[in-house]
Structure 1
Protein backbone atom coordinates (compact mmCIF):
# COMPACT_ATOMS: atom_id res chain seq x y z
CA UNK A 1 0.00 0.00 0.00
CA UNK A 2 1.41 3.36 -1.04
CA UNK A 3 1.45 6.13 1.58
CA UNK A 4 0.73 9.78 0.84
CA UNK A 5 0.52 12.76 3.15
CA UNK A 6 -1.62 15.88 2.95
CA UNK A 7 -0.18 19.36 3.41
CA UNK A 8 -1.43 21.36 6.42
CA UNK A 9 -3.52 23.81 4.41
CA UNK A 10 -5.98 24.76 7.17
CA UNK A 11 -3.62 26.18 9.80
CA UNK A 12 -3.42 29.95 10.10
CA UNK A 13 -0.07 31.71 10.15
CA UNK A 14 2.03 29.26 8.13
CA UNK A 15 4.92 30.82 6.24
CA UNK A 16 6.98 30.07 3.17
CA UNK A 17 9.64 28.54 5.40
CA UNK A 18 7.08 26.24 7.04
CA UNK A 19 5.94 24.90 3.70
CA UNK A 20 9.48 24.53 2.38
CA UNK A 21 10.27 22.42 5.47
CA UNK A 22 7.23 20.25 4.73
CA UNK A 23 8.11 19.84 1.04
CA UNK A 24 11.65 18.84 1.92
CA UNK A 25 10.68 16.41 4.67
CA UNK A 26 8.02 14.67 2.58
CA UNK A 27 10.23 14.37 -0.48
CA UNK A 28 13.08 12.91 1.60
CA UNK A 29 10.80 10.53 3.49
CA UNK A 30 9.30 7.13 2.64
CA UNK A 31 6.24 8.67 1.04
CA UNK A 32 4.72 8.01 -2.36
CA UNK A 33 2.77 11.23 -2.81
CA UNK A 34 1.86 14.65 -1.46
CA UNK A 35 -1.62 16.13 -1.60
CA UNK A 36 -3.74 19.06 -0.57
CA UNK A 37 -7.45 19.60 -0.12
CA UNK A 38 -9.61 22.48 -1.27
CA UNK A 39 -11.68 24.73 0.93
CA UNK A 40 -12.78 28.35 0.70
CA UNK A 41 -13.85 29.44 4.20
CA UNK A 42 -11.58 29.57 7.21
CA UNK A 43 -7.83 30.34 7.37
CA UNK A 44 -7.19 28.03 4.42
CA UNK A 45 -4.45 28.23 1.83
CA UNK A 46 -5.19 27.71 -1.87
CA UNK A 47 -4.79 24.10 -3.00
CA UNK A 48 -3.69 24.96 -6.53
CA UNK A 49 -0.96 27.38 -5.43
CA UNK A 50 0.38 25.05 -2.72
CA UNK A 51 0.57 22.10 -5.08
CA UNK A 52 2.30 24.21 -7.72
CA UNK A 53 4.88 25.19 -5.09
CA UNK A 54 5.23 21.53 -4.08
CA UNK A 55 5.70 20.54 -7.72
CA UNK A 56 8.59 23.00 -8.06
CA UNK A 57 10.15 22.31 -4.65
CA UNK A 58 10.10 18.49 -4.74
CA UNK A 59 11.68 16.04 -7.15
CA UNK A 60 10.36 12.59 -6.28
CA UNK A 61 6.85 12.33 -4.81
CA UNK A 62 3.69 12.33 -6.88
CA UNK A 63 1.56 15.49 -6.74
CA UNK A 64 -2.14 14.78 -6.14
CA UNK A 65 -5.00 17.27 -5.74
CA UNK A 66 -7.43 15.76 -3.19
CA UNK A 67 -9.67 17.18 -4.25
CA UNK A 68 -10.94 19.72 -6.72
CA UNK A 69 -14.53 20.66 -5.89
CA UNK A 70 -14.94 20.66 -9.62
CA UNK A 71 -18.41 22.27 -10.03
CA UNK A 72 -17.10 25.40 -8.26
CA UNK A 73 -14.64 25.93 -11.11
CA UNK A 74 -14.32 26.37 -14.84
CA UNK A 75 -13.49 23.00 -16.38
CA UNK A 76 -11.24 24.77 -18.89
CA UNK A 77 -9.21 26.42 -16.14
CA UNK A 78 -8.86 23.14 -14.25
CA UNK A 79 -7.70 21.34 -17.40
CA UNK A 80 -5.06 24.05 -17.96
CA UNK A 81 -3.98 23.94 -14.30
CA UNK A 82 -3.57 20.17 -14.25
CA UNK A 83 -1.58 20.10 -17.50
CA UNK A 84 0.62 22.93 -16.21
CA UNK A 85 1.07 21.25 -12.82
CA UNK A 86 2.17 18.03 -14.48
CA UNK A 87 4.74 19.88 -16.60
CA UNK A 88 6.08 21.78 -13.57
CA UNK A 89 6.38 18.55 -11.59
CA UNK A 90 8.13 16.63 -14.36
CA UNK A 91 5.15 14.36 -15.04
CA UNK A 92 4.41 13.48 -11.41
CA UNK A 93 0.65 14.11 -11.52
CA UNK A 94 -0.73 10.57 -11.74
CA UNK A 95 -4.06 10.98 -9.93
CA UNK A 96 -6.56 13.84 -9.65
CA UNK A 97 -9.46 13.58 -7.22
CA UNK A 98 -12.60 15.53 -8.05
CA UNK A 99 -15.79 15.82 -6.05
CA UNK A 100 -19.07 17.64 -5.68
CA UNK A 101 -18.44 19.28 -2.32
CA UNK A 102 -21.08 19.63 0.36
CA UNK A 103 -20.48 23.18 1.61
CA UNK A 104 -22.98 25.44 -0.11
CA UNK A 105 -21.35 28.44 1.58
CA UNK A 106 -18.11 27.81 -0.36
CA UNK A 107 -20.03 27.78 -3.64
CA UNK A 108 -21.76 31.01 -2.73
CA UNK A 109 -18.49 32.68 -1.75
CA UNK A 110 -16.95 32.05 -5.20
CA UNK A 111 -20.12 32.86 -7.13
CA UNK A 112 -20.85 29.29 -8.27
CA UNK A 113 -24.22 27.50 -8.35
CA UNK A 114 -24.61 24.77 -5.75
CA UNK A 115 -27.69 23.21 -7.31
CA UNK A 116 -27.16 21.19 -10.46
CA UNK A 117 -23.59 20.36 -9.54
CA UNK A 118 -23.94 16.62 -10.22
CA UNK A 119 -24.84 16.94 -13.88
CA UNK A 120 -22.42 19.84 -14.23
CA UNK A 121 -19.49 17.70 -13.10
CA UNK A 122 -20.33 14.99 -15.67
CA UNK A 123 -20.11 17.61 -18.40
CA UNK A 124 -16.98 19.16 -16.94
CA UNK A 125 -15.10 15.86 -16.93
CA UNK A 126 -16.01 15.36 -20.58
CA UNK A 127 -14.76 18.84 -21.44
CA UNK A 128 -11.48 18.36 -19.58
CA UNK A 129 -10.83 15.14 -21.45
CA UNK A 130 -11.51 16.87 -24.76
CA UNK A 131 -9.07 19.67 -23.89
CA UNK A 132 -6.34 17.22 -22.90
CA UNK A 133 -6.98 15.37 -26.15
CA UNK A 134 -6.38 18.53 -28.18
CA UNK A 135 -9.98 18.96 -29.35
CA UNK A 136 -11.43 22.42 -29.94
CA UNK A 137 -13.95 23.70 -27.41
CA UNK A 138 -14.82 26.81 -29.44
CA UNK A 139 -14.97 26.14 -33.18
CA UNK A 140 -12.19 27.79 -35.10
CA UNK A 141 -10.18 28.82 -32.03
CA UNK A 142 -7.83 25.88 -31.91
CA UNK A 143 -6.86 23.69 -28.95
CA UNK A 144 -6.44 24.95 -25.40
CA UNK A 145 -2.95 24.49 -23.99
CA UNK A 146 -0.57 23.74 -22.64
CA UNK A 147 -0.21 20.52 -24.57
CA UNK A 148 0.16 17.75 -21.98
CA UNK A 149 3.51 15.97 -22.01
CA UNK A 150 2.24 12.88 -20.22
CA UNK A 151 2.14 9.53 -22.03
CA UNK A 152 -1.17 8.81 -20.33
CA UNK A 153 -3.63 11.24 -18.73
CA UNK A 154 -3.84 11.14 -14.93
CA UNK A 155 -6.48 8.95 -13.35
CA UNK A 156 -9.64 10.81 -12.43
CA UNK A 157 -10.69 9.65 -8.96
CA UNK A 158 -14.18 10.43 -7.73
CA UNK A 159 -14.42 11.78 -4.21
CA UNK A 160 -17.87 10.28 -3.66
CA UNK A 161 -19.39 8.34 -0.77
CA UNK A 162 -23.11 7.81 -1.41
CA UNK A 163 -24.48 5.06 -3.67
CA UNK A 164 -26.13 7.48 -6.11
CA UNK A 165 -23.05 9.63 -6.60
CA UNK A 166 -20.77 6.58 -6.89
CA UNK A 167 -23.13 5.10 -9.49
CA UNK A 168 -22.94 8.32 -11.47
CA UNK A 169 -19.17 8.60 -11.28
CA UNK A 170 -18.71 5.00 -12.40
CA UNK A 171 -19.49 6.20 -15.94
CA UNK A 172 -16.27 8.23 -16.20
CA UNK A 173 -14.02 7.84 -13.13
CA UNK A 174 -10.90 5.68 -13.03
CA UNK A 175 -11.17 5.09 -9.32
CA UNK A 176 -12.55 6.22 -6.00
CA UNK A 177 -11.23 8.41 -3.19
CA UNK A 178 -12.90 6.86 -0.15
CA UNK A 179 -12.82 8.80 3.11
CA UNK A 180 -13.01 7.39 6.63
CA UNK A 181 -12.21 10.08 9.17
CA UNK A 182 -11.13 7.55 11.80
CA UNK A 183 -9.57 5.07 9.38
CA UNK A 184 -12.14 2.31 9.89
CA UNK A 185 -11.77 -0.85 7.80
CA UNK A 186 -15.50 -1.54 7.51
CA UNK A 187 -16.27 1.99 6.34
CA UNK A 188 -13.63 1.87 3.62
CA UNK A 189 -14.60 -1.64 2.55
CA UNK A 190 -18.27 -0.67 2.27
CA UNK A 191 -17.44 2.28 0.02
CA UNK A 192 -15.12 0.23 -2.19
CA UNK A 193 -17.74 -2.52 -2.47
CA UNK A 194 -20.27 0.03 -3.75
CA UNK A 195 -17.69 1.22 -6.28
CA UNK A 196 -16.92 -2.31 -7.49
CA UNK A 197 -20.60 -3.01 -8.04
CA UNK A 198 -21.19 0.33 -9.79
CA UNK A 199 -18.17 -0.18 -12.07
CA UNK A 200 -19.47 -3.63 -13.02
CA UNK A 201 -22.95 -2.29 -13.81
CA UNK A 202 -21.36 0.45 -15.92
CA UNK A 203 -19.56 -2.19 -17.97
CA UNK A 204 -16.12 -0.89 -17.05
CA UNK A 205 -13.36 -3.29 -17.98
CA UNK A 206 -10.95 -2.41 -15.17
CA UNK A 207 -11.57 -2.30 -11.44
CA UNK A 208 -11.57 1.16 -9.81
CA UNK A 209 -8.33 2.43 -8.32
CA UNK A 210 -8.70 2.47 -4.53
CA UNK A 211 -7.46 5.56 -2.69
CA UNK A 212 -8.34 6.02 0.97
CA UNK A 213 -7.88 8.76 3.53
CA UNK A 214 -8.16 9.54 7.24
CA UNK A 215 -7.17 12.08 9.91
CA UNK A 216 -4.30 11.51 12.35
CA UNK A 217 -1.79 13.23 14.61
CA UNK A 218 1.49 12.33 16.26
CA UNK A 219 1.83 15.66 18.05
CA UNK A 220 2.09 16.02 21.81
CA UNK A 221 -1.35 16.29 23.44
CA UNK A 222 -2.54 14.81 20.18
CA UNK A 223 -6.06 13.76 21.08
CA UNK A 224 -7.00 17.31 22.04
CA UNK A 225 -5.41 18.71 18.88
CA UNK A 226 -7.15 16.10 16.73
CA UNK A 227 -10.50 16.93 18.32
CA UNK A 228 -9.94 20.67 17.79
CA UNK A 229 -8.91 20.18 14.17
CA UNK A 230 -11.93 18.08 13.23
CA UNK A 231 -14.28 20.38 15.13
CA UNK A 232 -12.92 23.45 13.35
CA UNK A 233 -13.03 21.66 10.00
CA UNK A 234 -16.73 20.88 10.41
CA UNK A 235 -17.85 23.92 12.41
CA UNK A 236 -19.44 25.39 9.28
CA UNK A 237 -21.99 22.52 9.44
CA UNK A 238 -23.05 23.53 12.97
CA UNK A 239 -21.83 22.68 16.49
CA UNK A 240 -23.75 19.40 16.85
CA UNK A 241 -22.29 17.80 13.72
CA UNK A 242 -18.83 19.20 14.44
CA UNK A 243 -18.89 17.84 18.00
CA UNK A 244 -20.17 14.43 16.95
CA UNK A 245 -17.45 13.99 14.33
CA UNK A 246 -14.71 15.36 16.57
CA UNK A 247 -15.66 12.87 19.28
CA UNK A 248 -15.54 9.97 16.79
CA UNK A 249 -11.85 10.27 15.85
CA UNK A 250 -8.98 8.90 17.93
CA UNK A 251 -6.05 8.18 15.59
CA UNK A 252 -3.58 10.07 17.80
CA UNK A 253 -0.30 8.44 18.72
CA UNK A 254 1.73 5.72 17.03
CA UNK A 255 -0.35 2.72 18.12
CA UNK A 256 -3.62 4.17 16.86
CA UNK A 257 -2.01 5.27 13.62
CA UNK A 258 -0.66 1.77 12.95
CA UNK A 259 -4.14 0.34 13.53
CA UNK A 260 -5.61 2.76 10.99
CA UNK A 261 -2.92 1.89 8.44
CA UNK A 262 -3.64 -1.80 8.97
CA UNK A 263 -7.35 -1.08 8.51
CA UNK A 264 -6.75 0.75 5.24
CA UNK A 265 -4.59 -2.06 3.89
CA UNK A 266 -7.09 -4.73 4.94
CA UNK A 267 -9.87 -2.73 3.26
CA UNK A 268 -8.02 -2.96 -0.04
CA UNK A 269 -6.54 0.53 -0.35
CA UNK A 270 -3.91 0.69 -3.06
CA UNK A 271 -2.90 4.07 -1.70
CA UNK A 272 -3.88 6.03 1.38
CA UNK A 273 -3.56 9.72 2.21
CA UNK A 274 -2.98 10.70 5.82
CA UNK A 275 -4.30 14.13 6.79
CA UNK A 276 -2.45 15.62 9.78
CA UNK A 277 -4.24 17.58 12.48
CA UNK A 278 -1.28 19.92 13.03
CA UNK A 279 1.46 21.56 10.99
CA UNK A 280 4.18 20.25 13.33
CA UNK A 281 7.02 18.42 11.58
CA UNK A 282 6.60 15.50 13.96
CA UNK A 283 3.60 14.56 11.83
CA UNK A 284 6.03 13.71 9.02
CA UNK A 285 9.04 12.58 11.02
CA UNK A 286 7.06 10.34 13.34
CA UNK A 287 5.12 8.85 10.45
CA UNK A 288 8.36 8.14 8.59
CA UNK A 289 9.66 6.25 11.63
CA UNK A 290 6.46 4.21 11.82
CA UNK A 291 6.61 3.32 8.13
CA UNK A 292 10.26 2.26 8.39
CA UNK A 293 9.51 -0.02 11.33
CA UNK A 294 6.33 -1.32 9.71
CA UNK A 295 8.22 -2.43 6.63
Structure 2
Protein backbone atom coordinates (compact mmCIF):
# COMPACT_ATOMS: atom_id res chain seq x y z
CA UNK A 1 0.00 0.00 0.00
CA UNK A 2 1.26 3.43 -0.97
CA UNK A 3 1.02 6.35 1.42
CA UNK A 4 -1.30 9.18 0.23
CA UNK A 5 1.66 11.58 -0.03
CA UNK A 6 0.38 13.27 -3.18
CA UNK A 7 -2.97 14.22 -1.63
CA UNK A 8 -3.68 17.76 -0.37
CA UNK A 9 -3.91 18.96 3.23
CA UNK A 10 -1.77 16.28 4.82
CA UNK A 11 -0.51 16.57 8.36
CA UNK A 12 1.40 14.38 10.79
CA UNK A 13 -1.77 12.83 12.20
CA UNK A 14 -3.01 11.65 8.79
CA UNK A 15 0.37 10.25 7.78
CA UNK A 16 0.88 8.52 11.12
CA UNK A 17 -2.58 6.95 11.01
CA UNK A 18 -2.01 5.60 7.49
CA UNK A 19 1.44 4.25 8.40
CA UNK A 20 0.21 2.44 11.49
CA UNK A 21 -2.84 1.00 9.76
CA UNK A 22 -0.66 -0.32 6.93
CA UNK A 23 1.82 -1.77 9.41
CA UNK A 24 -0.91 -3.43 11.45
CA UNK A 25 -2.76 -4.66 8.36
CA UNK A 26 -2.15 -7.48 5.88
CA UNK A 27 0.17 -5.55 3.55
CA UNK A 28 3.69 -6.67 2.65
CA UNK A 29 5.07 -3.19 1.94
CA UNK A 30 4.49 0.48 2.68
CA UNK A 31 5.48 2.70 -0.26
CA UNK A 32 5.85 6.38 -1.07
CA UNK A 33 7.09 8.42 -4.00
CA UNK A 34 9.17 11.52 -4.56
CA UNK A 35 8.49 14.88 -6.12
CA UNK A 36 10.22 18.21 -5.55
CA UNK A 37 8.08 20.97 -7.14
CA UNK A 38 4.96 19.77 -5.31
CA UNK A 39 3.64 19.99 -1.75
CA UNK A 40 4.30 16.33 -0.86
CA UNK A 41 6.53 15.43 2.13
CA UNK A 42 10.27 15.10 1.52
CA UNK A 43 11.02 11.43 0.87
CA UNK A 44 14.05 11.07 3.13
CA UNK A 45 12.48 12.94 6.03
CA UNK A 46 9.41 10.75 5.65
CA UNK A 47 11.64 7.66 5.74
CA UNK A 48 12.72 8.67 9.23
CA UNK A 49 9.09 8.99 10.32
CA UNK A 50 8.16 5.66 8.75
CA UNK A 51 10.91 3.88 10.68
CA UNK A 52 9.44 5.30 13.91
CA UNK A 53 5.78 4.70 13.08
CA UNK A 54 6.09 1.09 11.84
CA UNK A 55 7.58 -2.14 13.15
CA UNK A 56 6.75 -4.92 10.66
CA UNK A 57 6.03 -3.80 7.13
CA UNK A 58 8.75 -3.38 4.50
CA UNK A 59 9.44 0.26 3.56
CA UNK A 60 9.75 0.91 -0.19
CA UNK A 61 10.62 4.15 -2.00
CA UNK A 62 8.69 4.18 -5.30
CA UNK A 63 10.68 5.96 -6.49
CA UNK A 64 13.58 8.19 -5.45
CA UNK A 65 15.43 9.98 -8.27
CA UNK A 66 19.19 9.76 -7.56
CA UNK A 67 20.01 12.62 -9.96
CA UNK A 68 18.14 15.00 -7.64
CA UNK A 69 20.52 14.21 -4.76
CA UNK A 70 24.20 14.06 -4.00
CA UNK A 71 24.74 10.28 -4.29
CA UNK A 72 27.01 10.01 -1.24
CA UNK A 73 24.56 11.92 0.96
CA UNK A 74 21.68 9.88 -0.47
CA UNK A 75 23.55 6.65 0.32
CA UNK A 76 24.21 7.86 3.87
CA UNK A 77 20.56 8.84 4.40
CA UNK A 78 19.24 5.53 3.06
CA UNK A 79 21.76 3.52 5.09
CA UNK A 80 20.62 5.44 8.18
CA UNK A 81 17.02 4.56 7.32
CA UNK A 82 17.99 0.91 6.94
CA UNK A 83 19.56 0.98 10.40
CA UNK A 84 16.57 2.69 11.99
CA UNK A 85 14.06 0.22 10.51
CA UNK A 86 16.28 -2.80 11.29
CA UNK A 87 16.81 -3.75 7.65
CA UNK A 88 13.26 -3.33 6.33
CA UNK A 89 14.14 -0.87 3.56
CA UNK A 90 13.87 -1.43 -0.19
CA UNK A 91 14.97 1.40 -2.47
CA UNK A 92 13.11 1.98 -5.71
CA UNK A 93 14.91 4.38 -8.03
CA UNK A 94 13.93 5.99 -11.32
CA UNK A 95 14.90 8.87 -13.61
CA UNK A 96 11.67 10.78 -12.91
CA UNK A 97 9.33 12.34 -15.41
CA UNK A 98 9.51 16.07 -14.63
CA UNK A 99 12.20 18.54 -15.67
CA UNK A 100 10.79 21.00 -13.13
CA UNK A 101 11.99 18.76 -10.30
CA UNK A 102 15.50 18.74 -11.76
CA UNK A 103 15.55 22.50 -12.18
CA UNK A 104 14.18 23.06 -8.67
CA UNK A 105 17.30 21.53 -7.12
CA UNK A 106 19.74 22.82 -9.71
CA UNK A 107 20.16 19.44 -11.41
CA UNK A 108 20.76 19.26 -15.15
CA UNK A 109 17.76 17.75 -16.99
CA UNK A 110 20.30 16.26 -19.40
CA UNK A 111 21.18 13.80 -16.62
CA UNK A 112 17.64 12.37 -16.80
CA UNK A 113 18.94 9.11 -18.29
CA UNK A 114 19.36 5.52 -17.17
CA UNK A 115 23.14 5.76 -17.59
CA UNK A 116 23.38 8.78 -15.32
CA UNK A 117 21.15 7.07 -12.76
CA UNK A 118 23.19 3.86 -12.91
CA UNK A 119 26.38 5.86 -12.31
CA UNK A 120 24.90 7.34 -9.13
CA UNK A 121 23.59 3.96 -8.01
CA UNK A 122 27.13 2.68 -8.41
CA UNK A 123 28.40 5.38 -6.06
CA UNK A 124 25.71 4.46 -3.53
CA UNK A 125 26.59 0.78 -3.68
CA UNK A 126 30.27 1.55 -3.13
CA UNK A 127 29.39 3.65 -0.09
CA UNK A 128 27.25 0.82 1.29
CA UNK A 129 30.14 -1.61 0.70
CA UNK A 130 32.33 0.53 2.95
CA UNK A 131 34.62 1.83 0.22
CA UNK A 132 36.24 5.18 1.00
CA UNK A 133 35.26 7.94 -1.42
CA UNK A 134 38.32 10.05 -0.49
CA UNK A 135 41.41 9.68 1.69
CA UNK A 136 39.21 10.11 4.78
CA UNK A 137 40.15 8.24 7.95
CA UNK A 138 36.87 6.35 7.93
CA UNK A 139 34.42 5.54 5.10
CA UNK A 140 31.00 7.15 4.89
CA UNK A 141 28.71 5.42 7.37
CA UNK A 142 26.67 4.07 8.92
CA UNK A 143 26.83 0.67 7.30
CA UNK A 144 23.38 -0.54 6.27
CA UNK A 145 21.91 -3.48 8.15
CA UNK A 146 21.32 -5.41 4.93
CA UNK A 147 24.50 -6.83 3.46
CA UNK A 148 25.53 -4.74 0.47
CA UNK A 149 22.77 -2.23 1.14
CA UNK A 150 18.99 -2.21 0.69
CA UNK A 151 17.58 -4.14 -2.30
CA UNK A 152 17.22 -1.92 -5.37
CA UNK A 153 14.17 -1.83 -7.64
CA UNK A 154 14.19 0.02 -10.95
CA UNK A 155 11.18 2.14 -11.74
CA UNK A 156 10.51 1.80 -15.45
CA UNK A 157 7.97 0.62 -18.00
CA UNK A 158 10.39 0.22 -20.92
CA UNK A 159 12.00 -3.09 -21.96
CA UNK A 160 15.28 -1.44 -23.03
CA UNK A 161 15.80 0.41 -19.76
CA UNK A 162 14.74 -2.66 -17.81
CA UNK A 163 17.40 -4.77 -19.53
CA UNK A 164 20.05 -2.17 -18.78
CA UNK A 165 19.17 -2.28 -15.06
CA UNK A 166 19.76 -6.03 -14.74
CA UNK A 167 23.42 -5.34 -13.94
CA UNK A 168 22.64 -3.55 -10.67
CA UNK A 169 18.94 -3.87 -9.72
CA UNK A 170 17.23 -6.59 -7.72
CA UNK A 171 13.88 -6.18 -9.39
CA UNK A 172 11.24 -3.98 -10.97
CA UNK A 173 8.93 -1.36 -9.48
CA UNK A 174 6.68 -0.70 -12.46
CA UNK A 175 3.36 0.98 -13.00
CA UNK A 176 0.35 0.01 -15.09
CA UNK A 177 -1.73 2.92 -16.31
CA UNK A 178 -4.38 0.86 -18.11
CA UNK A 179 -4.04 -2.41 -16.12
CA UNK A 180 -3.18 -4.39 -19.24
CA UNK A 181 -2.13 -7.70 -17.67
CA UNK A 182 -0.83 -9.02 -20.98
CA UNK A 183 1.58 -6.10 -21.44
CA UNK A 184 2.69 -6.45 -17.83
CA UNK A 185 3.45 -10.14 -18.35
CA UNK A 186 5.58 -9.27 -21.39
CA UNK A 187 7.60 -6.79 -19.30
CA UNK A 188 8.02 -9.37 -16.53
CA UNK A 189 9.30 -11.86 -19.12
CA UNK A 190 11.87 -9.28 -20.26
CA UNK A 191 13.02 -8.84 -16.67
CA UNK A 192 13.23 -12.55 -15.96
CA UNK A 193 15.28 -13.16 -19.10
CA UNK A 194 17.59 -10.19 -18.51
CA UNK A 195 18.30 -11.18 -14.90
CA UNK A 196 18.97 -14.78 -15.97
CA UNK A 197 21.39 -13.66 -18.67
CA UNK A 198 23.16 -11.49 -16.09
CA UNK A 199 23.64 -14.58 -13.91
CA UNK A 200 21.44 -13.22 -11.13
CA UNK A 201 18.61 -14.73 -9.12
CA UNK A 202 15.09 -14.05 -10.44
CA UNK A 203 14.02 -10.41 -10.07
CA UNK A 204 11.39 -9.12 -7.67
CA UNK A 205 8.44 -8.25 -9.92
CA UNK A 206 6.23 -5.41 -8.73
CA UNK A 207 3.77 -3.15 -10.47
CA UNK A 208 1.40 -0.45 -9.26
CA UNK A 209 -1.78 1.35 -10.19
CA UNK A 210 -4.05 4.09 -8.89
CA UNK A 211 -7.27 2.90 -7.27
CA UNK A 212 -10.61 4.15 -5.94
CA UNK A 213 -13.22 1.92 -4.31
CA UNK A 214 -16.88 2.74 -4.60
CA UNK A 215 -19.78 3.28 -6.97
CA UNK A 216 -18.64 3.71 -10.58
CA UNK A 217 -19.19 7.42 -11.17
CA UNK A 218 -17.86 8.87 -7.89
CA UNK A 219 -14.93 6.43 -7.80
CA UNK A 220 -13.89 7.31 -11.34
CA UNK A 221 -14.34 11.02 -10.54
CA UNK A 222 -12.03 10.56 -7.55
CA UNK A 223 -9.29 9.17 -9.79
CA UNK A 224 -9.84 11.95 -12.33
CA UNK A 225 -9.51 14.62 -9.64
CA UNK A 226 -6.33 12.97 -8.33
CA UNK A 227 -4.77 12.78 -11.80
CA UNK A 228 -5.62 16.43 -12.50
CA UNK A 229 -3.72 17.39 -9.35
CA UNK A 230 -0.83 14.93 -9.60
CA UNK A 231 -0.19 15.29 -13.34
CA UNK A 232 -0.08 19.07 -13.18
CA UNK A 233 2.94 19.23 -15.52
CA UNK A 234 0.83 17.74 -18.34
CA UNK A 235 -1.81 19.77 -20.25
CA UNK A 236 -5.17 19.35 -18.56
CA UNK A 237 -6.94 18.28 -21.76
CA UNK A 238 -4.51 15.36 -22.12
CA UNK A 239 -5.12 14.31 -18.51
CA UNK A 240 -8.85 14.51 -19.11
CA UNK A 241 -8.47 12.29 -22.16
CA UNK A 242 -6.63 9.50 -20.31
CA UNK A 243 -8.52 9.74 -17.02
CA UNK A 244 -11.41 7.41 -18.02
CA UNK A 245 -9.00 4.49 -18.59
CA UNK A 246 -6.15 5.24 -16.18
CA UNK A 247 -6.04 3.43 -12.85
CA UNK A 248 -8.74 1.22 -11.44
CA UNK A 249 -12.14 1.91 -9.87
CA UNK A 250 -14.91 -0.40 -8.75
CA UNK A 251 -16.12 -2.73 -6.01
CA UNK A 252 -14.30 -4.93 -3.53
CA UNK A 253 -15.00 -8.07 -5.55
CA UNK A 254 -13.75 -6.44 -8.73
CA UNK A 255 -10.50 -5.35 -7.08
CA UNK A 256 -9.95 -8.84 -5.70
CA UNK A 257 -10.40 -10.22 -9.22
CA UNK A 258 -7.88 -7.76 -10.68
CA UNK A 259 -5.32 -8.61 -8.00
CA UNK A 260 -5.88 -12.27 -8.81
CA UNK A 261 -5.12 -11.61 -12.48
CA UNK A 262 -1.81 -9.98 -11.59
CA UNK A 263 -0.95 -12.81 -9.20
CA UNK A 264 -1.57 -15.31 -12.01
CA UNK A 265 1.19 -13.80 -14.17
CA UNK A 266 3.77 -14.04 -11.38
CA UNK A 267 3.52 -10.58 -9.84
CA UNK A 268 5.30 -10.57 -6.48
CA UNK A 269 3.66 -7.35 -5.30
CA UNK A 270 1.08 -4.84 -6.44
CA UNK A 271 1.78 -1.43 -4.93
CA UNK A 272 -1.69 0.12 -4.73
CA UNK A 273 -1.72 3.93 -5.04
CA UNK A 274 -4.58 5.70 -3.23
CA UNK A 275 -6.36 8.63 -4.79
CA UNK A 276 -7.71 9.88 -1.47
CA UNK A 277 -6.34 10.24 2.05
CA UNK A 278 -9.60 8.81 3.44
CA UNK A 279 -8.66 5.90 5.70
CA UNK A 280 -11.99 4.29 4.84
CA UNK A 281 -10.50 3.34 1.47
CA UNK A 282 -7.50 1.82 3.25
CA UNK A 283 -9.71 -0.17 5.63
CA UNK A 284 -11.75 -1.59 2.75
CA UNK A 285 -8.65 -2.69 0.84
CA UNK A 286 -7.29 -4.27 4.04
CA UNK A 287 -10.32 -6.53 4.20
CA UNK A 288 -9.89 -7.52 0.55
CA UNK A 289 -6.24 -8.45 1.07
CA UNK A 290 -7.05 -10.41 4.23
CA UNK A 291 -9.65 -12.44 2.36
CA UNK A 292 -7.19 -13.15 -0.46
CA UNK A 293 -4.67 -14.46 2.04
CA UNK A 294 -7.09 -16.90 3.67
Per the TM superposition, whether the score is higher than 0.5 is yes
Give the drift of 1:175. Answer: 0.9
Counterpart for residue 20 of structure 2: 24
Counterpart for residue 167 of structure 1: 163
Alpha carbons 2:44, 2:78 under 8 Å: kept: no
Counterpart for residue 36 of structure 1: 32
1:20-45 CA-partner distances (Å, limit 9, x unpaired): 21122111111111110011223322
Counterpart for residue 277 of structure 1: 275
Alpha carbons 2:75, 2:128 under 8 Å: kept: yes
Alpha carbons 1:161, 1:191 under 8 Å: kept: yes
Distance across 1 between alignment mates of 2:265 and 2:107: 36
Alpha carbons 2:68, 2:105 under 8 Å: kept: yes
Match of 1:264 among 252, 262, 265: 262
Q: Which has the higher mean CA deviation after the structures are superposed, 108-117 or 177-186?
A: 177-186
Distance across 2 between alignment mates of 1:219 and 1:53: 31
Matches within 5 A, 1:1-295: 5-93=1-89, 95-118=90-113, 119-151=115-147, 153-201=149-197, 203-218=198-213, 221-249=218-246, 251-253=248-250, 254-294=252-292, 295=294
Give the drift of 1:250. Answer: 5.3
Q: How many residues of Structure 1 are paired with residues of Structure 2 in the alignment?
A: 289
Task: Give the gaps of 5 or more residues in structure 2.
Answer: none
Alpha carbons 1:35, 1:51 under 8 Å: kept: no
3-state SS of paired residue (1:217)? strand
Alpha carbons 2:87, 2:150 under 8 Å: kept: no
1:28-76 CA-partner distances (Å, limit 9, x unpaired): 1111111100112233222222222111011111111111111111111
Give the drift of 1:233. Answer: 1.8
CA pair 113-141 structure 1, distance change in 2 beyond 3 A: farther
3-state SS of paired residue (1:179)? coil
